[in-house]
Amino acid sequence: MKDPVTFYPGAEGDQADADSGDLSILRSRSSRRAFIKGVIASGAVAGSATFLFGCTSDRPAAGSVERLLSLNINGKVRRVDVLPNETLAMTLRYKLGLTGTKLSCDRGECGACTVVIDGVSTYSCSTLTHMVGDRQVRTIEGLEGPNGELHPVQQAMIDELGPQCGFCTPGQIMSAVALLEANPNPSREEVRHAMSGNLCRCGAYDHYLNSVMRAAQGV
């Protein structure tokens, strides 16, 4: 189990989302898409409404929380209306449309929701967005090169056939990126330890380990 202090994305797309089961009320791809768009839109409307009508003062009312936050996501400041009990995974996926971050267990057990905050791999399902402050959040979308190139870890995962179903892959990649930025030349055991908070139900662990070692060696 990953250190809970270690706060925490690959396979993009509808199939992974359809396989996720993270929103059981969504029975079809079309209804899921409509739901996500609706929530994103409502978030935008709520944010606008707050901006237009709700905030005649710069200060939140006593006992309340300022809901309109500025978050640094993938190097850009994003303004977003955040509920007091909202997790970063929910904000990323349903307010900001960054669906590369997956939600699976939604209780800090599987690592599918891993993002990197100030260089530390972090479970976004177990991080309140209001606790993020001005720290730098990186998601799988932030790994894209200026011309759309894959990050070396992403390429290594493809080369080593890491993803099977692929749902856990974004989280696996973000954990690997955090590790290699802190320790560019890890031993296989260090990689195993760093990736231990990312479960793969397909059991492709050796493939993932091989991928990270390949990326580290620049093969």
- Span from 23-31, 59-67, 90-98, 161-169 in contact with ligand FES (CB under 6 A): 161-169
113 interacts with ligand FES by CB under 6 A: yes
94 interacts with ligand FES by CB under 6 A: no
111 interacts with ligand FES by CB under 6 A: yes
User: DSSP string covering 32-92, please?
Assistant: HHHHHHHHHHHHHHHHHHIIIII-SSSSPPTT----EEEEEETTEEEEEE--TT-BHHHII
Task: Please state the closest distance from residue 175 (CB atom) to ligand FES, in A.
Answer: 11
Task: Please state the closest distance from residue 108 (CB atom) to ligand FES, in A.
Answer: 5
Strand partners, 115: 122
Letter for the amino acid at 62?
Answer: A
108 interacts with ligand FES by CB under 6 A: yes
CA distances from residue 19 to 29, 94, 114, 131, 168 in whole angstroms, order as listed:
10, 17, 18, 30, 11
110 interacts with ligand FES by CB under 6 A: yes
Contact residues toward ligand FES (CB under 6 A) are 103-106, 108-113, 123, 125, 163-169, 200-202, 204
